[in-house]
Every structure is written in C-alpha cells, then in structure tokens.
Structure 1
C-alpha cells in the first residue's frame, strides 16, 4: 500500500487512506489527485510527486476504500483491468464526493493550505466535474472523464474554473456524448474543453500502452498553466 496518511471522513465517523507528497518548501497551493479505476498505484503516486516537485502539496485519496483499501492495479493486465471495472461499477459517487470535500477540509484546516485544485483521470475525470459542481475547490481538471454528458443538468452550479481534456476517439465516451458535453459546456465562462483528435482514453497515463507522450505532455502543460493561474 502506497498511502501514507489518513484523512477523517466528512462526518468524522471514520477515516480513509491517502498518499501525500509534500514540496520542499511552503506550498504554493494544493492539488488533489483523483485516481483512475486502478487505485492509488505507482502512476498516481508519480503524478503526486511531480506536483510536489512543482511546489504544491499533493494529496491522492483512496477512492475505493469503502470496498477494499489499498487497491493498486495495472491497466495493462486484462484480469486486473476487469477487476478495476468491477470496483468502479460499485462505487458510490455521492459518498465519494463527500470524501473529496473531506480532503479539501483537511488540506485547508490541518495542512494550512488555502487554495486547492483537483485533477482527476478517467473515473477521476468524472469526479473532477462533480467537484466543480458540488464543492468549493478553486479549480478542477478532468482527463477523459466518463459520464459527464449525463450530469450536464448540474453545470449551472459551476462557479470556479474547470478544464476538461477530451480525446475524440475515447472508447468509453461516444461521439454523441462528446457533442453533448460541448453543447452543454462551451458557453459556460468557467469551463474550457480541449479536444485531442484521434486519441483514446488514458492517453496521459504515466506508463503503459495507453500513453501518448506528445499529447500527455501537451495536456499536462495546459493543466500546469491552468493551476498556476487559479491555484498558485
């Protein structure tokens, strides 16, 4: 298990694991990193460490802790991929967004960092959208979020900056779903969507066969600039 911290739940009735990476000096802000369906695995740990190297406090909560704490799966192993899909199908996103709120509170109250951004991947991209509609994070970024087209009725609640990276050949987000996202969000002054032509889901994974180096570098640069503007 790569987690190294526990965070109290919103109702303080329990706690959940998280991986925390600290910068060398006082944080310029904080970034919550929301996992794909594969848990707080080495790729998510690397993303946290990279944010810490940029001067942010980085926190990756264990999203599936209610089902099985400490999941670390490999997307390139078919059996583990299917296991991860099973966890995602059973995940309660309403409870999960409460854990995001609890993480925000912990960062601001216990870690003493006022400005908080959130970046999520795959399932985490959906959570990034929910964070923008249901929490007071200062900025959110979603990579290839799944199911956002089904939650556009919440878009009126977006009050802070939201950036979405959308690969046009995403096998989990149909062209119709992408069209609905653009139609529902392009006119929102808080929201920016970037399309990545011909790319598939998972193009910014830290390792494995899904990664596209050029596109991942472009998207990550846009994300870093976005957080520099809105978080610190």
Structure 2
C-alpha cells in the first residue's frame, strides 16, 4: 500500500512516496534517491522494504530545484538532466530535508519509533551525512559519491552505519576509496563491505552495471542490519 506524505519545512513543503507493510506497526526507513529523482527504481525499493516489514519513505530531495523529478538512466538526455540536477543540488539543504523527513516519519501513524535511512549514489553520500548529522537510528550507504570529502565528520557518529563500496566504481576512484577505508574501517559504529569487480550502481535493477549476485548479497546484508538495529 502506498501513499504520499507532505513534509513542511521553514523553506517550503515537499512530497515523499510512502510504502506501508501489512503490519499495523513497524519501524521505518527513509530511502534516499539517486540523481534520477523519486523514480520507479526508488519506488520499487520502497515497496520491497514494505514487503520486508518496514514503512518506507522516499522524499523528493530535488524539490528546491524542480519538484517531481522522475527520470531513468536509459537515455543520454536523461543522464544530462540528472547531472544538471546533481550539480545544482545543495547537499547541506538536502541533509536538512532528510532530517525533516525523519521527524515527519517518526510522527506517522503506524511507525513504531525507530527510523533508519538508506541511500544510493548521491543518496549514498547523503546516507553517510544522515548518519553523522541527524538522529537516524541506523543508516546504509551504497556507493556514495564524494564521501571521502566528509570522513572527518565520522567522529560525530553515534549510531550504526553500514557501507557498500564498489571496488571498480568510476565515480569513486581507488584514491577516494582508500581515504574512506583508512579513515573509517576501524570505527566502532561502521561496517564496510567492498565488492571486487563491481562498478558504480551495481545494485540498481536495470542499470548498465547491475550485478544480481552482489546486489543480492548487499541487500541481504542491509536487511539483516536494519532488522538488527531497528527492531
């Protein structure tokens, strides 16, 4: 079952896609978009999480630039649009919007209290920043782009964070991966898994670099992590 949630901030209001499980009460997960908006890939992730017993909420984080973005990774024109949005995006404002989404999600009927976050690509960076800057109870980052610039913020991290890194990620080069791993691998709240041979977005169903086996492994790790930390 899905619905639309409106989240109000001092800067304005934006919408979020909400998928609900069959249970009357459940923990929640905020799903943080890639550079393609709240598209079918993100809605399907929400629906899958709902099927696993979570309330899933995917906010429209591009609303300050252009509300309602819903594009794919299947054409050159859409990629051009996606990178224009990415370049115009204010990361700090995005984290603020995620914090507002977490607060609104906690107040939803049927949410049992704990709220996690999961993000992919741009959302992977935002999931890391959500972990260190907000009160999310547990966060998961998939191949976050630009995370190496923010590793110092991990000193503020007080709740669990799971990270998935593609070893052949064209947007997170080896040098950036080394910065991330050197800074974070021994942090008591952080669990990191790397995936040999995988490129960026290996878990995006239908994407050019999708790998069903490693996506399944990563998603199973994420599900177990959320069940352990949000239950």
Aligned partner of 1:203 in structure 2 is 202
- Secondary structure at the aligned position of 2:179 is classed as helix
Q: 1:59 maps to which residue?
A: 57
Q: How many residues align structurally?
A: 229
Partner Cα distance (1:143, 1:206) in 2: 14
> Is 1:95 matched up with 2:93?
yes
Q: CA deviation at 1:3?
A: 7.4
Q: 1:165-176 counterparts in 2 under 5 A?
A: 165-176=164-175
Structure 2 residue runs without a partner (length 5+): none
Matching of residues 1-232 of structure 1 within 5 Å: 4-9=4-9, 11=10, 13-111=11-109, 112-232=111-231
Distance apart, 1:55 and its partner CA:
1.1
> Structure 2-normalised TM-score?
0.96
SS at match of 1:178: helix
Moved over 6 A (4+): none
Match of 1:32, SS?
Answer: strand
Change (3 A) 1:158 1:149: same
Q: Distance in 2 between matches of 1:173 and 1:129?
A: 14
Residues 23-52 of structure 1, C-alpha deviation per residue, up to 9 Å, x if partnerless?
Answer: 112233001000100011001000000011
Q: Distance in 2 between matches of 1:135 and 1:125?
A: 15
User: How far is 1:206 from its partner?
Assistant: 2.2
Cα RMSD after superposing both structures: 1.3
Contact 2:201 2:207 in 1 (8 A): no
Contact 1:3–1:70 (CA under 8 A) maintained in structure 2: no
Q: What TM-score, normalized to structure 1?
A: 0.95
CA contact (8 A) 1:20 1:48 kept: yes
Give the match's secondary structure for 1:83.
helix
